Structure 1
Amino acid sequence: MVNWELVVAAASMIAGVAAAYFGYVAVRGRLRSPRPHPAGTDTARTGASYDAFVSYAEADEATAEWLARGLQDRGLRVFLAKWIGVGLVEYAEKERALDATVNGVLLFSRASMGRADLRDEYAALLQQVHAGGRRFVPVLVEAVDLPPFARIRRPLDLTGRGNSTAALDELARAVGRPNAGR
Protein backbone atom coordinates (compact mmCIF):
# COMPACT_ATOMS: atom_id res chain seq x y z
CA MET A 1 0.00 0.00 0.00
CA VAL A 2 1.44 3.38 -1.08
CA ASN A 3 1.26 6.23 1.38
CA TRP A 4 0.34 9.04 -1.03
CA GLU A 5 0.74 11.74 1.62
CA LEU A 6 4.39 10.68 2.03
CA VAL A 7 4.93 10.67 -1.77
CA VAL A 8 3.39 14.15 -2.11
CA ALA A 9 5.47 15.46 0.81
CA ALA A 10 8.69 14.04 -0.69
CA ALA A 11 7.89 15.49 -4.13
CA SER A 12 7.13 18.87 -2.55
CA MET A 13 10.41 18.81 -0.66
CA ILE A 14 12.38 17.97 -3.83
CA ALA A 15 10.59 20.75 -5.74
CA GLY A 16 11.36 23.23 -2.94
CA VAL A 17 15.06 22.32 -2.88
CA ALA A 18 15.24 22.57 -6.69
CA ALA A 19 13.48 25.96 -6.65
CA ALA A 20 15.86 27.27 -3.98
CA TYR A 21 18.89 26.06 -5.93
CA PHE A 22 17.77 27.56 -9.25
CA GLY A 23 16.83 30.79 -7.47
CA TYR A 24 20.32 30.95 -6.01
CA VAL A 25 21.91 30.28 -9.41
CA ALA A 26 19.89 33.13 -10.91
CA VAL A 27 21.11 35.71 -8.36
CA ARG A 28 24.47 34.40 -7.17
CA GLY A 29 26.47 37.02 -9.07
CA ARG A 30 24.56 39.76 -7.28
CA LEU A 31 24.92 38.18 -3.84
CA ARG A 32 28.70 38.24 -3.64
CA SER A 33 30.03 40.68 -1.13
CA PRO A 34 32.18 43.50 -2.48
CA ARG A 35 35.93 42.96 -2.45
CA PRO A 36 37.51 46.32 -1.76
CA HIS A 37 40.43 47.52 -3.84
CA PRO A 38 43.63 47.29 -1.81
CA ALA A 39 43.82 51.08 -1.72
CA GLY A 40 40.24 51.33 -0.44
CA THR A 41 38.33 52.05 -3.64
CA ASP A 42 35.44 49.96 -4.90
CA THR A 43 36.74 49.16 -8.36
CA ALA A 44 37.71 45.54 -7.75
CA ARG A 45 34.20 44.42 -6.86
CA THR A 46 33.10 41.15 -8.34
CA GLY A 47 29.91 41.61 -10.28
CA ALA A 48 30.45 45.36 -10.48
CA SER A 49 30.06 47.23 -13.70
CA TYR A 50 33.05 49.12 -14.93
CA ASP A 51 33.42 52.12 -17.18
CA ALA A 52 36.75 50.80 -18.46
CA PHE A 53 38.72 47.56 -18.57
CA VAL A 54 42.40 48.43 -18.92
CA SER A 55 44.44 45.73 -20.67
CA TYR A 56 48.23 45.90 -20.64
CA ALA A 57 51.48 43.94 -20.71
CA GLU A 58 53.38 43.56 -17.45
CA ALA A 59 56.12 45.87 -18.76
CA ASP A 60 53.49 48.64 -19.08
CA GLU A 61 51.97 48.15 -15.62
CA ALA A 62 53.09 51.54 -14.27
CA THR A 63 51.45 53.38 -17.18
CA ALA A 64 48.32 51.23 -16.90
CA GLU A 65 48.01 51.99 -13.20
CA TRP A 66 48.58 55.70 -13.80
CA LEU A 67 45.78 55.68 -16.40
CA ALA A 68 43.45 53.65 -14.19
CA ARG A 69 43.97 55.85 -11.14
CA GLY A 70 43.56 58.96 -13.27
CA LEU A 71 40.22 57.65 -14.56
CA GLN A 72 39.15 56.83 -11.01
CA ASP A 73 40.04 60.36 -9.93
CA ARG A 74 37.61 61.51 -12.60
CA GLY A 75 34.79 59.44 -11.12
CA LEU A 76 35.03 56.37 -13.35
CA ARG A 77 35.01 52.72 -12.29
CA VAL A 78 38.04 50.91 -13.68
CA PHE A 79 39.15 47.30 -13.79
CA LEU A 80 42.89 46.67 -13.66
CA ALA A 81 44.27 43.14 -13.37
CA LYS A 82 46.85 44.30 -10.83
CA TRP A 83 44.00 45.04 -8.44
CA ILE A 84 42.64 41.49 -8.41
CA GLY A 85 42.50 40.34 -4.80
CA VAL A 86 44.66 37.65 -3.25
CA GLY A 87 43.24 34.15 -3.59
CA LEU A 88 41.13 34.94 -6.64
CA VAL A 89 41.59 33.32 -10.04
CA GLU A 90 42.97 35.98 -12.38
CA TYR A 91 41.44 34.66 -15.60
CA ALA A 92 38.03 34.19 -13.98
CA GLU A 93 38.09 37.73 -12.56
CA LYS A 94 39.19 39.16 -15.91
CA GLU A 95 36.39 37.30 -17.66
CA ARG A 96 33.81 38.59 -15.18
CA ALA A 97 35.13 42.12 -15.54
CA LEU A 98 35.08 41.94 -19.35
CA ASP A 99 31.42 40.95 -19.20
CA ALA A 100 30.67 43.86 -16.87
CA THR A 101 32.68 46.53 -18.69
CA VAL A 102 31.30 49.28 -20.85
CA ASN A 103 34.57 50.19 -22.60
CA GLY A 104 37.93 48.62 -23.30
CA VAL A 105 41.31 50.29 -23.20
CA LEU A 106 44.36 48.40 -24.45
CA LEU A 107 47.91 49.71 -24.06
CA PHE A 108 49.99 48.99 -27.16
CA SER A 109 53.77 48.70 -26.87
CA ARG A 110 56.52 46.40 -28.05
CA ALA A 111 55.89 44.30 -24.92
CA SER A 112 52.17 43.91 -25.60
CA MET A 113 52.33 43.09 -29.30
CA GLY A 114 53.47 39.49 -28.90
CA ARG A 115 51.39 38.48 -25.89
CA ALA A 116 48.80 35.75 -26.57
CA ASP A 117 46.74 36.64 -23.48
CA LEU A 118 46.48 40.25 -24.65
CA ARG A 119 45.39 39.09 -28.10
CA ASP A 120 42.56 37.23 -26.36
CA GLU A 121 41.59 40.35 -24.39
CA TYR A 122 41.84 42.42 -27.60
CA ALA A 123 39.49 39.99 -29.36
CA ALA A 124 37.04 40.00 -26.43
CA LEU A 125 37.03 43.80 -26.29
CA LEU A 126 36.39 44.05 -30.03
CA GLN A 127 33.61 41.48 -29.80
CA GLN A 128 31.89 43.68 -27.22
CA VAL A 129 32.21 46.68 -29.52
CA HIS A 130 30.54 44.78 -32.34
CA ALA A 131 27.81 43.54 -30.00
CA GLY A 132 26.88 47.20 -29.58
CA GLY A 133 27.08 50.12 -27.24
CA ARG A 134 30.71 49.78 -26.21
CA ARG A 135 33.89 51.51 -27.19
CA PHE A 136 37.44 50.28 -27.68
CA VAL A 137 40.28 52.77 -27.21
CA PRO A 138 43.81 51.83 -28.27
CA VAL A 139 46.49 53.64 -26.24
CA LEU A 140 49.95 53.97 -27.77
CA VAL A 141 52.60 53.66 -25.07
CA GLU A 142 55.34 53.24 -27.68
CA ALA A 143 55.40 53.78 -31.43
CA VAL A 144 54.25 50.40 -32.78
CA ASP A 145 52.19 49.29 -35.74
CA LEU A 146 48.66 48.68 -34.50
CA PRO A 147 46.74 45.57 -35.55
CA PRO A 148 44.08 46.23 -38.24
CA PHE A 149 41.01 46.68 -36.03
CA ALA A 150 42.87 48.94 -33.61
CA ARG A 151 44.36 50.89 -36.53
CA ILE A 152 40.92 52.04 -37.73
CA ARG A 153 40.31 53.81 -34.42
CA ARG A 154 42.02 57.03 -33.37
CA PRO A 155 44.35 56.01 -30.55
CA LEU A 156 45.25 57.97 -27.48
CA ASP A 157 48.91 58.62 -28.23
CA LEU A 158 51.06 58.83 -25.10
CA THR A 159 54.35 58.50 -26.98
CA GLY A 160 54.94 62.24 -27.04
CA ARG A 161 52.81 63.31 -24.09
CA GLY A 162 53.91 61.02 -21.28
CA ASN A 163 51.80 61.22 -18.16
CA SER A 164 49.80 64.34 -18.95
CA THR A 165 46.58 65.56 -17.39
CA ALA A 166 45.25 66.39 -20.86
CA ALA A 167 45.70 62.75 -21.92
CA LEU A 168 43.75 61.56 -18.88
CA ASP A 169 40.98 64.06 -19.55
CA GLU A 170 40.76 62.91 -23.17
CA LEU A 171 40.58 59.24 -22.17
CA ALA A 172 37.99 59.99 -19.47
CA ARG A 173 35.77 61.72 -22.03
CA ALA A 174 36.16 58.78 -24.41
CA VAL A 175 35.23 56.04 -21.94
CA GLY A 176 33.26 57.92 -19.33
CA ARG A 177 29.89 59.25 -18.62
CA PRO A 178 29.10 62.88 -19.48
CA ASN A 179 31.14 65.27 -17.31
CA ALA A 180 33.70 62.58 -16.53
CA GLY A 181 36.61 64.86 -17.42
CA ARG A 182 37.60 67.58 -14.96
Structure 2
Amino acid sequence: MTGVETVNLVIGIVGVVAAVAGVYYAHHEYRERRSGAGNGGGDGAPAPEPPDSSARQRAYDVLVSYASGDADAAELLAGRLRAADLEVFLVRWVAPGLVPLLETDQALSEARWGVLVYGSGTTADQRARHEYAALLHRKFEEGLRFVPARTTDDPLPPLAAIHQPLDLTRPGTEHYNREVARLVRIIRAPRGTAGV
Protein backbone atom coordinates (compact mmCIF):
# COMPACT_ATOMS: atom_id res chain seq x y z
CA MET A 1 0.00 0.00 0.00
CA THR A 2 1.44 3.37 -1.02
CA GLY A 3 1.49 6.47 1.14
CA VAL A 4 -1.33 8.06 -0.87
CA GLU A 5 -3.50 4.96 -0.48
CA THR A 6 -2.84 4.93 3.28
CA VAL A 7 -3.84 8.60 3.57
CA ASN A 8 -7.00 7.95 1.55
CA LEU A 9 -7.84 4.97 3.77
CA VAL A 10 -7.41 7.06 6.94
CA ILE A 11 -9.55 9.87 5.50
CA GLY A 12 -12.24 7.32 4.57
CA ILE A 13 -12.24 5.81 8.07
CA VAL A 14 -12.46 9.25 9.70
CA GLY A 15 -15.36 10.10 7.39
CA VAL A 16 -17.24 6.93 8.31
CA VAL A 17 -16.70 7.52 12.05
CA ALA A 18 -17.93 11.13 11.71
CA ALA A 19 -21.01 9.98 9.78
CA VAL A 20 -21.86 7.32 12.38
CA ALA A 21 -21.42 9.84 15.21
CA GLY A 22 -23.66 12.34 13.41
CA VAL A 23 -26.41 9.76 12.91
CA TYR A 24 -26.16 8.64 16.55
CA TYR A 25 -26.51 12.17 17.95
CA ALA A 26 -29.30 13.07 15.54
CA HIS A 27 -31.20 9.91 16.53
CA HIS A 28 -30.60 10.58 20.23
CA GLU A 29 -31.97 14.14 19.88
CA TYR A 30 -34.97 12.84 17.92
CA ARG A 31 -35.74 10.24 20.63
CA GLU A 32 -35.57 12.89 23.36
CA ARG A 33 -37.92 15.21 21.46
CA ARG A 34 -40.32 12.37 20.70
CA SER A 35 -40.37 11.11 24.31
CA GLY A 36 -41.20 14.60 25.54
CA ALA A 37 -37.93 14.97 27.45
CA GLY A 38 -37.60 18.49 26.14
CA ASN A 39 -40.92 19.67 27.60
CA GLY A 40 -41.01 18.15 31.05
CA GLY A 41 -42.32 14.71 30.09
CA GLY A 42 -44.87 15.51 27.41
CA ASP A 43 -47.61 16.82 29.72
CA GLY A 44 -47.33 20.41 28.45
CA ALA A 45 -45.64 21.70 31.60
CA PRO A 46 -42.21 23.27 31.19
CA ALA A 47 -39.25 21.22 32.35
CA PRO A 48 -37.94 22.19 35.79
CA GLU A 49 -34.94 24.47 35.69
CA PRO A 50 -31.80 22.42 36.49
CA PRO A 51 -29.92 23.63 39.54
CA ASP A 52 -26.78 25.71 39.15
CA SER A 53 -24.08 23.30 40.33
CA SER A 54 -21.64 26.19 40.84
CA ALA A 55 -23.97 27.55 43.56
CA ARG A 56 -23.91 24.28 45.50
CA GLN A 57 -23.00 24.91 49.15
CA ARG A 58 -22.57 21.37 50.47
CA ALA A 59 -21.89 17.80 49.38
CA TYR A 60 -24.64 15.95 47.57
CA ASP A 61 -27.22 14.37 49.85
CA VAL A 62 -28.35 11.97 47.16
CA LEU A 63 -27.37 10.79 43.70
CA VAL A 64 -30.23 9.62 41.48
CA SER A 65 -29.05 7.00 38.99
CA TYR A 66 -31.18 5.88 36.05
CA ALA A 67 -31.18 4.28 32.63
CA SER A 68 -31.88 6.48 29.63
CA GLY A 69 -35.43 5.12 29.34
CA ASP A 70 -36.19 6.27 32.88
CA ALA A 71 -34.79 9.79 32.54
CA ASP A 72 -38.16 11.50 33.00
CA ALA A 73 -39.04 9.39 36.06
CA ALA A 74 -35.61 10.15 37.55
CA GLU A 75 -35.98 13.87 36.89
CA LEU A 76 -39.42 13.90 38.50
CA LEU A 77 -38.03 12.23 41.63
CA ALA A 78 -34.89 14.43 41.69
CA GLY A 79 -37.03 17.55 41.34
CA ARG A 80 -39.18 16.49 44.29
CA LEU A 81 -36.08 15.79 46.41
CA ARG A 82 -34.58 19.14 45.44
CA ALA A 83 -37.86 20.87 46.36
CA ALA A 84 -37.42 19.33 49.82
CA ASP A 85 -34.12 21.28 50.09
CA LEU A 86 -31.83 18.31 49.47
CA GLU A 87 -28.69 18.55 47.33
CA VAL A 88 -29.40 16.18 44.44
CA PHE A 89 -27.17 14.99 41.61
CA LEU A 90 -28.80 14.01 38.34
CA VAL A 91 -26.56 13.58 35.30
CA ARG A 92 -29.25 15.22 33.14
CA TRP A 93 -28.66 18.42 35.14
CA VAL A 94 -24.92 18.66 34.44
CA ALA A 95 -24.33 22.21 33.19
CA PRO A 96 -22.99 22.91 29.70
CA GLY A 97 -19.21 22.99 29.57
CA LEU A 98 -18.80 20.31 32.25
CA VAL A 99 -17.98 16.64 31.62
CA PRO A 100 -20.93 14.45 32.67
CA LEU A 101 -18.76 11.40 33.48
CA LEU A 102 -16.42 13.41 35.69
CA GLU A 103 -19.32 15.12 37.48
CA THR A 104 -20.97 11.72 38.01
CA ASP A 105 -17.73 10.29 39.36
CA GLN A 106 -17.45 13.13 41.87
CA ALA A 107 -21.10 12.78 42.90
CA LEU A 108 -20.70 9.00 43.29
CA SER A 109 -17.78 9.56 45.64
CA GLU A 110 -19.42 12.18 47.86
CA ALA A 111 -23.18 11.48 48.00
CA ARG A 112 -24.52 10.08 51.28
CA TRP A 113 -27.43 8.30 49.58
CA GLY A 114 -27.73 6.55 46.24
CA VAL A 115 -31.12 5.98 44.60
CA LEU A 116 -31.30 3.65 41.60
CA VAL A 117 -34.41 4.36 39.53
CA TYR A 118 -35.09 0.86 38.25
CA GLY A 119 -37.17 0.21 35.15
CA SER A 120 -37.42 -2.42 32.44
CA GLY A 121 -34.34 -1.12 30.59
CA THR A 122 -31.98 -0.66 33.53
CA THR A 123 -30.03 -3.90 33.15
CA ALA A 124 -29.51 -3.24 29.42
CA ASP A 125 -28.19 0.32 29.93
CA GLN A 126 -24.40 0.21 30.30
CA ARG A 127 -24.06 3.55 32.11
CA ALA A 128 -26.81 2.61 34.59
CA ARG A 129 -25.18 -0.79 35.21
CA HIS A 130 -21.84 0.85 35.97
CA GLU A 131 -23.43 3.39 38.32
CA TYR A 132 -25.34 0.57 40.05
CA ALA A 133 -22.08 -1.33 40.56
CA ALA A 134 -20.38 1.80 41.94
CA LEU A 135 -23.29 2.44 44.31
CA LEU A 136 -23.16 -1.13 45.60
CA HIS A 137 -19.39 -0.90 46.04
CA ARG A 138 -19.74 2.28 48.10
CA LYS A 139 -22.57 0.70 50.09
CA PHE A 140 -20.53 -2.32 51.12
CA GLU A 141 -17.15 -0.57 51.42
CA GLU A 142 -18.09 2.85 52.81
CA GLY A 143 -21.61 2.63 54.20
CA LEU A 144 -23.47 4.57 51.50
CA ARG A 145 -27.23 4.23 51.96
CA PHE A 146 -28.67 2.57 48.84
CA VAL A 147 -32.33 2.61 47.80
CA PRO A 148 -33.77 0.94 44.69
CA ALA A 149 -36.79 2.83 43.33
CA ARG A 150 -38.98 0.71 41.05
CA THR A 151 -40.77 2.41 38.15
CA THR A 152 -42.17 -0.87 36.76
CA ASP A 153 -43.17 -4.26 38.14
CA ASP A 154 -39.99 -5.83 36.75
CA PRO A 155 -38.15 -7.87 39.39
CA LEU A 156 -35.14 -6.21 40.96
CA PRO A 157 -31.72 -7.85 40.61
CA PRO A 158 -30.77 -9.92 43.70
CA LEU A 159 -28.44 -7.37 45.34
CA ALA A 160 -31.00 -4.60 44.91
CA ALA A 161 -33.91 -6.81 45.97
CA ILE A 162 -32.46 -7.34 49.45
CA HIS A 163 -33.12 -3.63 50.13
CA GLN A 164 -36.56 -2.25 50.89
CA PRO A 165 -37.46 -0.57 47.56
CA LEU A 166 -39.51 2.52 46.87
CA ASP A 167 -42.55 1.98 44.66
CA LEU A 168 -42.58 4.78 42.08
CA THR A 169 -44.83 2.95 39.63
CA ARG A 170 -47.73 5.42 39.97
CA PRO A 171 -46.49 9.02 39.53
CA GLY A 172 -49.11 11.67 40.16
CA THR A 173 -50.91 9.63 42.83
CA GLU A 174 -51.05 9.93 46.59
CA HIS A 175 -49.14 6.65 46.81
CA TYR A 176 -46.24 8.19 44.86
CA ASN A 177 -46.30 11.27 47.09
CA ARG A 178 -46.12 9.08 50.21
CA GLU A 179 -43.17 7.12 48.84
CA VAL A 180 -41.24 10.31 48.02
CA ALA A 181 -42.09 11.80 51.44
CA ARG A 182 -40.83 8.60 53.08
CA LEU A 183 -37.53 8.87 51.19
CA VAL A 184 -37.12 12.54 52.18
CA ARG A 185 -37.85 11.64 55.80
CA ILE A 186 -35.23 8.89 55.98
CA ILE A 187 -32.58 10.96 54.18
CA ARG A 188 -33.07 13.74 56.74
CA ALA A 189 -33.17 11.38 59.75
CA PRO A 190 -30.09 11.02 61.97
CA ARG A 191 -27.85 8.23 60.69
CA GLY A 192 -28.65 5.73 63.46
CA THR A 193 -32.44 6.03 63.11
CA ALA A 194 -32.99 6.09 59.34
CA GLY A 195 -34.63 3.02 57.89
CA VAL A 196 -36.15 2.34 54.52
Calculate the TM-score normalised by the size of structure 1: 0.69
In 1, the alpha carbon distance for the partners of 2:83 and 2:119 equals 25
Are residues 1:167 and 2:179 paired?
A: yes
Q: Which protein has greater RCO, CA pairs closer than 8 Å, 6+ apart?
A: 1
More helix per residue: 1 or 2? 2
Which has the greater radius of gyration? 1
What is the CA deviation profile of residues 106-136 of structure 1, one whole-angstrom value per residue up to 9, with x for unaligned ones?
A: 0111121211211110111111111233210
Q: 1:43 to 1:58 in 2, by over 3 A?
A: same
In 1, the alpha carbon distance for the partners of 2:123 and 2:179 equals 22
Among residues 134, 151, 162, which one is paired with 1:152 in the alignment?
162
Letter in 2 for 1:171: L
- Structure 2 equivalent of residue 176 of structure 1: 188
Are residues 1:98 and 2:69 paired?
A: no
- Structure 2 equivalent of residue 59 of structure 1: 69
Question: How many residue pairs align between the two structures?
Answer: 140
Unaligned runs of 5+ in 1: 1-37
Q: 1:106 to 1:82 in 2, by over 3 A?
A: same
- Structure 2 equivalent of residue 142 of structure 1: 152
Please give the secondary structure, in 1, of the residue aligned with 2:117: strand
In 2, the alpha carbon distance for the partners of 1:157 and 1:54 equals 15
- Structure 2 equivalent of residue 125 of structure 1: 135
Contact 2:113 / 2:144 at 8 angstroms: preserved in 1? yes
- Could you say what the CA RMSD is over the residues aligned between the two structures, in angstroms? 2.2
Q: Give the deviation of 1:167 after TM superposition.
A: 1.7
Unaligned runs of 5+ in 2: 1-47, 191-196
Q: 1:93 to 1:48 in 2, by over 3 A?
A: farther
Q: 1:110 to 1:75 in 2, by over 3 A?
A: same
Calculate the TM-score normalised by the size of structure 2: 0.65
Letter in 1 for 2:134: A
